[in-house]
Each structure stands twice: as structure tokens, then as C-alpha cells.
Amino acid sequence: MKKTIQSIVIVSFLLTQLLCTIVQAHEVYINTSKVEHTINLPQQEIAFDSFGYNAFISLDLSDALSLSFSRGEWTQTKDNHAVLVGEMAIKSVGSAAHYSINDAWYLSLSYDKWQDSIQAHNKKHHLTVYDEQNHAKSYTASLGWGKEIGSYYLRLSTSMSQTDWQSERTVSIRKNITSHTSQKLDTTVASLAVDMSHFVVFSQDTAFTYGAQLSWHQLLKDTLTQEQGIKLKRNNITRRTNLKNSVNQPNQLTTEDYGQISLYAILQLGERWNADISLNRNFATNNAPTQDETYFSLGLGYQF
């Protein structure tokens, strides 16, 4: 789940930064993207593939400074007419400040917060057999450099992100036995990216930009605190066992070193409207479920 959301944030950040580079103006922007996540339970596998939205507004306070705010939401109810029905709900909010140091260099600071809820219900017994609640907040600082080369635009950037995760997961093992896992994760990731785009003018008010970005994300810190417990109920008597430890190893909430390739295209329609499309793909990752996934996004923007 983490890497999918992270990819969506990267795509949105890439496109909005590029749009701000092309035209400096106030802008309202909305895109749609897909979140994929699978939970494996003894009764069946539930695969979510929810399309959601991310709304964005950017305000130029001066020629050098702009502020932006965003909100996203992805929801889905998955009912395959089997034993279980699944529900997923993801919400995110974010804010960022972008400062142009000169014509080539820029600095940006951003804050993102999101939460997701994933549940599976047994339709026959009206019982929640799986309940996962995740909360996260992330701080990112970026420094970038860009240069026009004829009708091309080259950009290099580096960033540092710090993310705090909290997760609560409860799984019904059998009728009277539940397993509870509580996790807290602190990660620090450094990223490098190179971006090349080509700008084509069709008419006075119509232009087309297409490009690609290649990025690498290096995990610098990964600290996980985990608490596990099994709750047994017999004749109204409850016994609880706990295991507390601190480990530094990957699991479903940790990230890892990985690369990413992004392809995108932006069509400027008239003086105020623009539309975009993008594709993302991870590589060089040990996370098999996300290694071969391609993330797709569509967006529409209005400048005022």
C-alpha cells in the first residue's frame, strides 16, 4: 500500500511542478489515478483497484513564491459474490511552498498526511474478519535546477523525505480467536531525479509538452516498532499475550531502495486550460507485488 500511494504523490508532484514551470499563474488542478492493493485471507483473496481523485490549487504570492494545497480520496467496495466483501477508503491532504531562487534554481517544502482503512466482512455471519487502519505524515524538502535547451527543458532535482507511519491491524483467525498487530514506522528516503521534456507549439494558444523522468529513491533510515497480540475468548474469560520488539527489516509497511520511470504528456488548451496523462513504473525493487505494476493518471487544470 505504501509504495502505491507514494507513486501517486510523486506523479502529482511531478506534473504540478512542471505546470508551474511552464506558466506562472494561479491554478486549479484535478487528476484521477488508480490505487491497487490485495489482502490475502484464508477464505479468499480480495484485490482492490480503486480509481480516485486528487484536487490541487496553487496560488502565486509573487513571481518567486507560490503555495499549493491538495486533497485526494480513493474508495471502493469489492463484492465478488463470494464469502467476503471488502471495503477500502483512502484520504490524503497536503500543502507545499515553492520558491524560485533564480531562473534556474528552485526550492520546495511539502507536507503530506494520509490515512487508509481496509476492512473485510463475512456476509453470512455479519462479522468483520479483517480490519486495518493506517495513518501517515510525511515531510519533504527538494532542491532543483532547470534549463531550457531550445524547445527542450532539462531538470535535475534532489529531495529528502521523512515519513512516520502508524498501523493497527486485527485479523479474525477463527471464530473466537483474533490476532492484533500494532506498528510504528519511521523512514528517511533520499531521492535523485532527472527529467527531460519537449515543448511543441501548435498555435498561439495551443501547445503540447511530453517528457520522461527517471528517479532513484534510496532508503537511509528504517526503524520499526511492533506489538503483536493474540486474544482468546473462552466462556467470557479473556487472556492476552503480547510481544514487543524493535527490528530493522522490511515488512508490509516498510519501503526499500527502488527506481522509477515516469512518462507524461501535457496539452495546453487555450490560455487557461491544460490536460495531462502519465504512466509510472517501478524497477529494481524486491517488492514483488509492486515491481511489475504500472500506475496511470489523468489530470485537468485551469489557470486564472
Specify burial of residue 259 (Cβ count, 10 A radius: 0-12, 13-18, 19+): middle
What CATH number is associated with residue 70? Answer: 2.40.128.130
Say whether 160 sits in a helix, a strand or coil. strand
- How does residue 102 score in pLDDT terms, banded at 50, 70 and 90? very high
pTM for the full predicted model: 0.78
Looking at the chain, the number of H-run helices and the number of E-run strands are 2, 13
Q: How many Å apart are CA 201 and CA 209, to the nearest integer?
A: 9
Q: How many Å apart are CA 208 and CA 201, to the nearest integer?
A: 6
Report, as an integer, the average pLDDT of 131-136: 94
- The residue behind cell 533520499 is 190
Q: How many Å apart are CA 53 and CA 301, to the nearest integer?
A: 13
Print burial letters for 175-208: b (CB count within 10 Å at least 16), e (below 16). Answer: eeebebbbbebebebebebebebebeeeeeeebe
CB atoms < 10 A from the CB of 95, how many? 13
- How does residue 175 score in pLDDT terms, banded at 50, 70 and 90? low
Q: How many Å apart are CA 12 and CA 29, to the nearest integer?
A: 10
Q: How many Å apart are CA 102 and CA 61, to the nearest integer?
A: 16
Report, as an integer, the average pLDDT of 257-269: 90
Q: Above pLDDT 90, what percent of the chain?
A: 42
Domain containing residue 196: 2-303
Question: How big is the CA angle at 129 (ends 127 and 131), to the nearest 5 degrees?
Answer: 115
* Listed residue (31, 176, 37, 224) closest to 117, CA to CA: 37
Q: Which residue has the higher pLDDT, 112 or 18?
A: 112
Q: Which residue has the higher pLDDT, 288 or 54?
A: 54
Q: Count how many domains the chain has.
A: 1
**pLDDT value of position 39:** 86
Q: Which residue has the higher pLDDT, 237 or 172?
A: 172
Q: How many Å apart are CA 117 and CA 74, to the nearest integer?
A: 11
Q: How many Å apart are CA 151 and CA 32, to the nearest integer?
A: 29
Report, as an integer, the average pLDDT of 10-17: 46
- How does residue 287 score in pLDDT terms, banded at 50, 70 and 90? low
Report, as an integer, the average pLDDT of 257-267: 91
Least confident of 25-39, 53-67, 90-104, 242-256: 242-256
**pLDDT value of position 302:** 84
